[in-house]
Amino acid sequence: MRGNIIHENNSSYGRPGFKRTYQYDDNYNLIASHKVGLTYYNKVHYEYRVLYEYKGKPIKKITYNANNNIKNKFYYSYGNSYDKLIYQYDKNGNNIKSVRYSSDGKIKSKTLTKYDTKGNIYHRTKFV
């Protein structure tokens, strides 16, 4: 691996912090990282994955909540953020709202979704 880190654990004062793994291509370039933040009881508090393009610049970062639902996504071009998506879920884990923001913080689009008691989508509205 030519000295590339493939796994690290972090803790503070005996409490769990996070676990991170790294993935490299055949030319030893970083192509992905995966980080899991842990609670005091070693349960997943948050998780994120980052995909990289040429020369280690990020192209996408996805953050997950403790229920493994996507919390937000960031999209990058040449290492600079250009879009951010924020997701909201109901108590059943259904995605009820997603909002896409541009790099200047303005809302580009918003999607609201309603579900029946069986978890089936019965209404979706997208605002652009």
Residue with tokens 């019965």: 122
Rounded distance between C-alpha atoms, residue 90 and residue 94, angstroms: 5
In the numeric block, which tokens belong to residue 51? 């995909």
Residue 61 makes CB contacts below 8 A (sequence gap 6+) with 48, 49, 50, 51, 73, 74, 76
Rounded distance between C-alpha atoms, residue 62 and residue 33, angstroms: 11
Residue 54 CB coordination number (10 Å): 9
The answer to whether the beta carbons of residues 97 and 111 sit under 8 Å apart is yes
Rounded distance between C-alpha atoms, residue 118 and residue 45, angstroms: 28
Question: Residue 56 — φ and ψ, nearest 5°?
Answer: 75, 15
Give the residue extent of every domain in the chain.
Answer: 7-127
Question: Under DSSP, is residue 97 helix (H, G, I), strand (E, B) or coil?
Answer: strand
Per-residue pLDDT of the chain (128 residues; tens, 9 = 90+): 466 767 777 766 666 677 778 888 787 777 778 877 766 666 666 677 777 775 667 778 888 877 778 888 888 776 666 788 888 899 888 899 999 898 888 898 999 999 998 888 889 898 87
